[in-house]
Amino acid sequence: MIAVLCGGFGAARFLSGLGERGAELCCVVNTADDLEYLGLHVSPDLDSVLYALAGEFDEERGWGLRGDTFHCNAALARHGADWFHVGDRDLATHLERTRQLRAGRTLSEATAELTSVWGVAARLLPMSDSPVRTVVRTDAGPLTLQEYLVRHHAGPRVHGVDHAGRADAAPAPGVLDALAAAELVVLAPSNPVSSLGPILALPGVRETLAARAGGTVAVTPVVNGRPPATPPEQGRARVRAAFMEARGLPHRAAAVAGLYAGLVQGFVLDERDAAAESAEIDALGMRVLCADTLAASPGERRRLAGAVLEFGRGVSREPRR
């Protein structure tokens, strides 16, 4: 079994190359981006991962379902309630999740039901059944992540990023067991502050990863050797840089690797950054694999996924450095 710690966009793209793994795959997904919109519980990262594994993720937009329509959102504009964009088919997911939660089911249980309905063989686990919410401290005051990203278009200057509710939250049932038992754990190429940071901050997660007998590797979300090519990539790079700067970190792959020191044995670095970054990451005690992490086509993503799995299995056979 392969366990992947996931955010949204970056993880969704990476997971498309692992799709054939089916039931061997367990995705532990960030829920600190969740929000209530028009009375509905929306889980952006869970939905991105679900839709990616179902082959329906809209990568061009960077969220939602490919080919979705927005008639409901257009109607909501008359009431000034369309600041957060939800497609019509996507809306059905939020309606059903909310119905289940109001019926007394946990987020884990609702997620399992949605995964089954979509015909996805992989196991999807929310990081926690308790509410944890990312709060961005900005010049415009404290904003939830979606308010910062969508309502304010990531414009205000960022002074800090917090995770409200983290002190009272616990990993969802099955999360720690999956991380301990997995043959390989992969930290997906997701924002290290707002996507993987909340997962790693939950009680027991870092300790479980540090004590694992199997391999643990991370895939860089930062590529500086080539400018981001699409609007979703450009926006996420700008936000990631702002969040890392607020933590006093440069927007570099080596800085991401430093956040994972002691947890991962290997780091997958984009080949375009090899000369500038690999020695610094190696000095952290991690083996480095240089690969095309920006793989665009399905074939390239399958090759990247295969290389990451082979690399992870290799580092698992080596003593920790």
Domains and CATH numbers, the chain: 2-131+168-316 (3.40.50.10680)
Q: How far is CA 86 from the centre of its chain?
A: 19
pLDDT tens across 259-278, in order?
Answer: 999 999 999 999 999 999 99
d(CA 236, CA 242): 10
d(CA 235, CA 303): 26
- SS3 percent helix, strand, coil of the chain, rounded to 5, is 45, 20, 35
Cβ atoms of 15 and 49 closer than 8 Å: yes
Query: One digit per residue, pLDDT tens: the chain, 321 residues?
Result: 999 999 999 999 999 888 777 779 999 999 999 999 999 999 999 999 999 999 999 998 999 999 999 999 999 999 999 899 999 999 999 999 999 999 999 999 999 999 999 999 999 999 999 999 999 999 999 999 999 999 999 999 999 999 999 989 999 999 999 999 999 999 999 999 999 999 999 999 999 999 998 899 999 999 999 988 888 889 999 999 999 999 999 999 999 999 999 999 999 999 999 999 999 999 999 999 999 999 888 899 999 999 999 999 998 766 666
If you ran DSSP here, which 8-state letter would residue 260 be given? T
CA-based R_g, the chain, Å: 19
d(CA 76, CA 245): 36
The residues, ordered by sequence, that sit 6+ positions from 279 with a Cβ below 8 Å of its Cβ are none
pTM, rounded to two decimals:
0.95
**Both tokens assigned to 186:** 């992969």
- The letter for the amino acid at 149 is L
Specify the pairing of strand 25-29 against strand 2-6: parallel
CB atoms within 10 A of CB 24: 14
Specify the pairing of strand 266-270 against strand 215-219: parallel
